[in-house]
Structure 1
Amino acid sequence: MKVQKFIKECQEKVFSGNGLSFEEAHELFNIPDENLKDLAQCANEITRDFNGQKVDVEQLNNIKKNACSEDCTFCGQSAFFDTGIETYQLPSPEEVVLKAEKAKQEGAESYCLVAAWREPSPKDFEKVCKIISQINNKVGISVECSLGFLIKEQAEKLKKLNVKRYNHNLETAKSKFSEICTTHTYEDRLNTLKIARDAGLELCTGGIIGLGETREQRFELTMELARIYPEEVTINILVPVPGTPLELQTQLPNSEIVRIFAVIRFLLPESVIKISGGRELNLEDSGEELLQSGANGIITSGYLTMGGNEAKKDREMIEKIGLKA
């Protein structure tokens, strides 16, 4: 009863607008597994109070695939690892428009253009801008981008093109980052988020859980996200890619996945909290439980290097649990 009382007290602080202290958040993150259902229920109540019944459904388009210059150990698109993943360069605007139209018809509210590189070259950036303009003119779906590191002028140009949100994940905790990537720093990532926000873009950031990090490091990432307070948090669950250094990484227990989603909701009551890559393979229910434990968004119809549920299947899943796609 003592733990249940503490969880409810934390929930009341969220509802009152006071927020949690670092110590309270840490205690919440480390409650016993037997109290996870109480934590998840309270997180769900916060979600419904601040965000209603709607689930944010997004589709991605990996517009430039593979041969990335960075050595992120989880990534099948890194040029450092032989993963056998197909490669291609930027497609024509017409090709992307057709896919964006299909995404809109399937019920996606947003369409995120993702490119596998450290940062866009001036030439490639202009190509992406043409693609965005075509989507704006011909489709009318909310466009988001994940194009790697940005400079100020690029971020301002994306804002002028009515890009709503910029995605740039922290990937993991600062204390873990040097084990995951050596070709750039954690501060580089934080700097791009600042550039995007200063340009007036909404932020989408998060990371990947299951990289071999400790629970304390997952808490560290959670508190960094709370500090940034992005409009959207995206949490991926590692799917080990053959050929990468993490190909033999063991799967996280479901309890640890529920735990981070629920606590993020306590700390970011108004944000979209999105279940991203890996949900279909790591979760038996494709995300039903998490959508009732703090999450209120999904990516549907596949990810950067792997497939996913069809949009229709995800829509049926959302409606089955009484939410709205």
Structure 2
Amino acid sequence: MTDILTTARTRVLDEGRGLDYDQLRRVLELPDADIPELLALAHEVRVRWCGEEVELEGIVSLKTGGCPEDCHFCSQSGVFDSPVRSARLDIAQLIEQARQTAKTGATEFCIVAAVKGPDENLMSQVENAVSEIYANVEGIDVAVSVGILSPEQVGRLKAVGVHRYNHNLETAQSYFPRVVTTHTWEERRRTLELVRDAGIEVCSGGILGMGETPAQRAEFAVQLAELEPDEVPLNFLDPRPGTPFADMEVMDGRDALRAVAMFRLAMPSTTLRFAGGRELTLGDMGIEQGLLGGVNGVIVGNYLTTLGRPAELDLDMVDRLRLPIKVLSRSV
């Protein structure tokens, strides 16, 4: 076993303490031959500090497209010439989507809107949607992702029972200006601090493979760990037509698996969720390796503007790997 894996076994597996920046960089430098051993250790860590259960989540876009921000990876930006068109769902459609999500065995349903932050009309719609979903759908927690929030808006979401709030930091602070110019990394972090202080679970992750260096991936993991998030969604860049990142190469699957394990060794007790781009970057075999290499959450079905895998495939995979699916622990 290499020195860094020996260190990780003691510090992370035995003691439950995440690796520091320099140690995480060394994880990302491991040769290909050490990847199986790295993934096995990451799996041991997640079983010990999170349990064996896999948490399933469905997401739906309440407002798609037309966003004024210039996130270079995003086809929902109105700044770029992408094929995504603006659309909105009504509350009845959201309830039905939540009901279908619950039928897959998912315990989390996330309402997402492509905005910098919610105006009063959107806030009211989200509040009504959350209340109606809880009233009409059993066995589901409701999460929300509607951008940068004020303290007053955070309080309103807390009041209607929002379980978890997603606001991705997207990438390392040092690389963020290469990805977004219309708002700052610090604005995003401030929203997450408000959410955490209000007692809403924090969900924040980002996208790997946007041109960042391995050192910046380690930086990103440390910055996320400082927030003590309940969940970290791991996306991999799926280059979208019309965006500034349209011509970027897809991340190498081996680097993606190193990064998955690295995030687990940075945050031993956090839910790490496979999200967008996993099919393109890893394929079926790589997704299975990730679920046995530190990941303990999966978004099932489609993503916001891209197709995922049919939920049945993910359910079959989880069953084949003999990983139990998390059930909702509270009464709805």
TM-score (norm 2): 0.94
Separation in 2, partners of 1:67, 1:184: 16
**Residues 211 and 18 (structure 1), Cα distance of their counterparts in 2 relative to 1, 3 Å cut:** closer
Would the aligned equivalents of 2:73 and 2:244 in 1 still touch at CA under 8 Å? yes
Give the alignment's Cα RMSD to 1 decimal.
1.3
Q: Secondary structure at the match of 2:204?
A: strand
Separation in 2, partners of 1:21, 1:306: 34
TM-score (norm 1): 0.96
**Residues 216 and 124 (structure 1), Cα distance of their counterparts in 2 relative to 1, 3 Å cut:** same
Residue 79 of structure 2 is aligned to residue 80 of structure 1: yes
Would the aligned equivalents of 2:16 and 2:268 in 1 still touch at CA under 8 Å? no
Separation in 2, partners of 1:177, 1:21: 21
Tell me by how many angstroms 1:79 deviates: 0.5
Q: Secondary structure at the match of 2:287?
A: coil
Tell me by how many angstroms 1:294 deviates: 0.7
Q: Which amino acid aligns with 1:167?
A: N
Would the aligned equivalents of 1:39 and 1:262 in 2 still touch at CA under 8 Å? yes
Tell me by how many angstroms 1:24 deviates: 2.7
Q: Secondary structure at the match of 2:23?
A: helix
| Structure 1: runs of 5 or more not aligned | none
Identify the range of structure 1 (136-145 vs 27-36) with the bigger mean alpha-carbon deviation: 27-36
**Residues 9 and 155 (structure 1), Cα distance of their counterparts in 2 relative to 1, 3 Å cut:** same
Would the aligned equivalents of 2:73 and 2:239 in 1 still touch at CA under 8 Å? yes
**Residues 58 and 217 (structure 1), Cα distance of their counterparts in 2 relative to 1, 3 Å cut:** same
Tell me by how many angstroms 1:51 deviates: 2.0
Identify the range of structure 1 (238-247 vs 26-35) with the bigger mean alpha-carbon deviation: 26-35
Matches within 5 A, 1:1-325: 1=1, 3=2, 5-14=3-12, 15-89=14-88, 91-140=89-138, 141-285=140-284, 287-325=287-325
Would the aligned equivalents of 1:226 and 1:268 in 2 still touch at CA under 8 Å? yes
Tell me by how many angstroms 1:157 deviates: 1.4
Q: Which amino acid aligns with 1:193?
A: L
How big is each residue's C-alpha offset from its partner over 1:272-307, in whole Å with a ceiling of 9 and x where there is no partner? 000100112221216111111111111011101011
Identify the range of structure 1 (14-23 vs 79-88) with the bigger mean alpha-carbon deviation: 14-23
Q: Which amino acid aligns with 1:144?
A: A
Q: Which amino acid aligns with 2:73?
A: F
Identify the range of structure 1 (139-148 vs 282-291) with the bigger mean alpha-carbon deviation: 282-291
Would the aligned equivalents of 1:222 and 1:260 in 2 still touch at CA under 8 Å? no
Tell me by how many angstroms 1:23 deviates: 3.1
State the match for 2:329 in structure 1.
none
Q: Secondary structure at the match of 1:230?
A: coil
**Residues 157 and 321 (structure 1), Cα distance of their counterparts in 2 relative to 1, 3 Å cut:** same
Q: Which amino acid aligns with 1:307?
A: L
Would the aligned equivalents of 1:11 and 1:266 in 2 still touch at CA under 8 Å? no
**Residues 101 and 240 (structure 1), Cα distance of their counterparts in 2 relative to 1, 3 Å cut:** same
Tell me by how many angstroms 1:25 deviates: 2.9
Separation in 2, partners of 1:229, 1:39: 23
Identify the range of structure 1 (10-19 vs 159-168) with the bigger mean alpha-carbon deviation: 10-19
Separation in 2, partners of 1:137, 1:183: 38
Q: Which amino acid aligns with 1:138?
A: N
| Structure 2: runs of 5 or more not aligned | 326-332
Would the aligned equivalents of 2:66 and 2:85 in 1 still touch at CA under 8 Å? no
Tell me by how many angstroms 1:63 deviates: 0.7
Identity of aligned residues (%): 37
Identify the range of structure 1 (156-165 vs 232-241) with the bigger mean alpha-carbon deviation: 156-165
